[in-house]
Amino acid sequence: MKWLSAMTRLSVRTTQEQAVAAVNLHEAKTHLSELLDRALRGEEIVIARAGRPVARIVPVDDRKPRTPGLARGRLTDAFFEPLPPEELDAWEGRT
């Protein structure tokens, strides 16, 4: 975090759960790998352009893997039938 000088650091706030740091876009591009490491440790990073927040880097939730067969017995044969043309057009944005 040595590169995050007082001039480039936009703000840092600490909540009970985690620290939040804001960096400008140039610094974020230059030090993306380090910012990702910090996010993995639980820190929230806000990226700003011209002093205005535009994006946030946060750790991804570790979710349980999917359980195959969750819908077993819930789908009828109608699920596998082709859609009517008007509904298919609606799904494909042609209406």
Domain boundary assignment for the chain: 9-57
- 31-83: pLDDT as tens digits: 999 999 999 888 899 999 998 999 999 888 777 788 888 888 888 888 899 99
Q: What is the CATH class of 9-57?
A: alpha beta
Q: What is the reported pTM? A: 0.48
Beta strands in 1-95 (DSSP E): 9-14, 19-24, 44-49, 52-57
Exposure on the CB side of residue 52, measured as CA atoms within 13 A: 2
Alpha carbons 78 and 86: distance in angstroms, whole number: 17
